Amino acid sequence: MNRDEWRKRARIGLLYGFMYLVGPLLWGGWMVFRLRLLTLGEYVHCLTSPLTLCMMAVFLAGNITNIHRAAGGAPTLWTLRTHCAALVAFGTAGTFVFLTPLSGGALEWLGRAGIGALSGASLVFLTYGFFTVAIFRLVAKNTHILRRLRRFYSALFPLGAVLFVAAAALAGRLQGLTLLGGASLALPLATTCFLFIKTMYGANAVGRGAKHGVA
């Protein structure tokens, strides 16, 4: 394996590491300090539970193995589907499982876990498409796969925006909203919107380049 191949695989590993290790930390900060659904101690308890650690390890190792196999040859639609299915599962079922160690009555637990899962899904749907495009640009020259990926991200992003607002509303953070509070909610949406537009433009550029024999 040459140096360029090692660099490419290292970049892929870093991107997946951000998605499945750093991402949950950012989500935890949002849950604790902005939505105030959890205390810091409750978040750390959930993060360090054996179930959570095993789940994160399985998602990280499975995705890296999947994409590194593809990096050795031409990525297939199966590679893309496996990645996208894991992304959706992590954002929905994964965030709910993450919160299972929370204590409290059944209704209280269900309410907090449900809102937390909505918030986690919104984070994944808003931002992880950006990382997905970055990963597949490193391994895929197939324009068909990149077009499918673009459609996937186009469907995921608006759903993430809706879930983001819904989670904030259910957490009671839209009532009596101040200017500063509104800005703190608008900033993540504005940032992810910028990434979405940038990514879609880049995906289109890849498609045009491949059509004309450039990519």
Sign of CA dihedral 95, 98, 103, 105: positive
Predicted local distance difference test score (pLDDT) of residue 206: 47
CA separation (Å) from 121 to 76, 88, 198? 26, 8, 21
pLDDT along the chain (215 residues), means of 10: 78 86 91 91 94 90 79 70 89 90 86 91 91 82 78 92 92 78 87 88 51 38
- Taking CA atoms, 21 is separated from 12, 32, 46, in Å, by 14, 17, 14
Q: Where in the chain are the domains?
A: 3-211
> What pLDDT sits at residue 148?
85
Q: What is the pLDDT of residue 208?
A: 46
Assigned token pair, 111 = 């309410």
Kindly tell me the burial class for residue 175, based on how many C-beta atoms sit within 10 Å of its own C-beta (0-12, 13-18, 19 or more).
exposed
Q: What is the reported pLDDT for 193?
A: 92
Tell me how far apart the alpha carbons of residues 61 and 93 are, in angstroms, rounded to a whole number.
Answer: 18
DSSP 187-213: HHHHHHHHHHHHHHHHHHHHHHHHHTT
Q: What is the pLDDT of residue 48?
A: 94
Task: Quote the pLDDT of residue 1.
Answer: 61
At residue 75, the pLDDT reads 61
d(CA 201, CA 123): 21
pLDDT for the residue 213: 37
**Amino acid sitting at position 158:** P
Closest CA to 182 of 194, 171, 173, 191: 173
**Coil, strand or helix at 105:** coil
Instruction: Please report the pLDDT score of residue 83 as a whole number.
Output: 87
